[in-house]
Amino acid sequence: MRKFLLLFASVFCVCSLHAQSEPNATVSGKSTPPPSAKQPPGGPAVDQIPPPVATPVPGQPVTTGDAAKPKIDKDPPAFDINHMDTSVNPAEDFYTYAIGGWLKQNPIPPEFSRWGSFNELAELNNEAMRVVAEKAAQAKGDAKSAPEMQLVGDFYASGMDEKAVEAAKAKPLEEELKRIDAIKDRAGVLQAIARLHNMGASGFFFFSSGADDKNAKMVISQAYQGGLGLPDRDYYTKEDDSAKKLRDQYVEHVAKMLTLLGTPAAAASEGAQKILAVETALAVPARPRAELRDPEKNYNKMSQ
């Protein structure tokens, strides 16, 4: 039970494997939630709005390494003619004519699956938050006078102290694991799921609040399908060689996570197979991406 719940609880805290045959996967690898089910807190906002995407230019290899990351202009002009490619006939390829220059100037960084203006905004925001967090971590003074700064600084410093993180290993999770081990019945499972959701670990499903799609003046509770470690149901239901290989790799990944928690190798392998089976059972009735793009089908308002 412990292994089972922990994997669902940590599904968004570990790296999911991405299939090369699925170019429509979002940056996070998750399908975009429908309008009536907003991205859960902590999810990348860039996934919700399709930005202009940089794609490899024929004849130009995708560069690798940190030096390949495009330099972000913090004060870009309203319109830059250099972003166009006037060598292209707009009647034949208007897309390249309009932004071909930008595509050539902005190869996809190796750590991204796509690159566009919204990715730039996200990176600028990350940099701004890094500066705030570092200042908070270095601040000296009375914690009572600035408790928020103390919390931010301590949280950031704890994550940046790699030696302490490596030394602690899974020990910080011990109390939560004990709570899960103590589960005796279905009621205990429900209580554990509720606790994990309160901690920000969205196991089995997503639950948040947002504007009613048909009444913007109302803020309502919203639920969305979840419980999958892989991007969407197709990764579990397809039977081609690529999909099967991906699932095998996923089982290896899950088994590795379990061994890092102290589970013996044999039990970890068996547990990983069971986890895949449970996720597959959840994936089969899950809505495919095409249906998730239908706002009417995904608007199912109800009261209790």
**Is the confidence at residue 4, as pLDDT, over 80?**
no
How does pLDDT run across 288-303, given as a tens digit for each residue? 999 999 999 999 999 8
How does pLDDT run across 103-152, given as a tens digit for each residue? 999 999 999 989 998 998 999 999 999 999 999 999 887 778 888 999 99
Weakest-pLDDT range from 5-14, 71-80, 118-127, 275-284: 5-14
Instruction: Identify the pLDDT of residue 59.
Output: 41
State the helix-helix crossing angle for 241-260 and 265-283, rounded to 10 degrees.
130
How does pLDDT run across 18-69, given as a tens digit for each residue? 333 333 333 333 444 444 444 444 444 434 434 444 444 444 444 444 545 5
**Is the confidence at residue 77, as pLDDT, over 50?**
yes
Weakest-pLDDT range from 7-11, 15-19, 209-213, 241-245: 15-19
Instruction: Identify the pLDDT of residue 92.
Output: 96
Q: For residue 304, what pLDDT band results from cuts at 50, 70 and 90?
A: low
Instruction: Identify the pLDDT of residue 79.
Output: 83
Per the model's pLDDT, the better-predicted residue between 204 and 33 turns out to be 204
Average pLDDT over every residue of 274-301: 95
119 φ/ψ angles, rounded to the nearest 5 degrees: -65, -40
Instruction: Identify the pLDDT of residue 142.
Output: 77
Instruction: Identify the pLDDT of residue 119.
Output: 93
- Rounded to the nearest integer, the mean pLDDT of the chain is 81
Instruction: Identify the pLDDT of residue 140.
Output: 82
How does pLDDT run across 152-203, given as a tens digit for each residue? 999 999 999 999 999 998 899 999 989 998 999 999 999 999 999 999 898 8
Average pLDDT over every residue of 247-257: 98
Instruction: Identify the pLDDT of residue 50.
Output: 40
Instruction: Identify the pLDDT of residue 80.
Output: 87
CB atoms within 10 A of CB 180: 20
Q: What architecture (CATH level 2) is domain 1-41+170-304?
A: Orthogonal Bundle (1.10)
What are the domain boundaries of the chain? 1-41+170-304
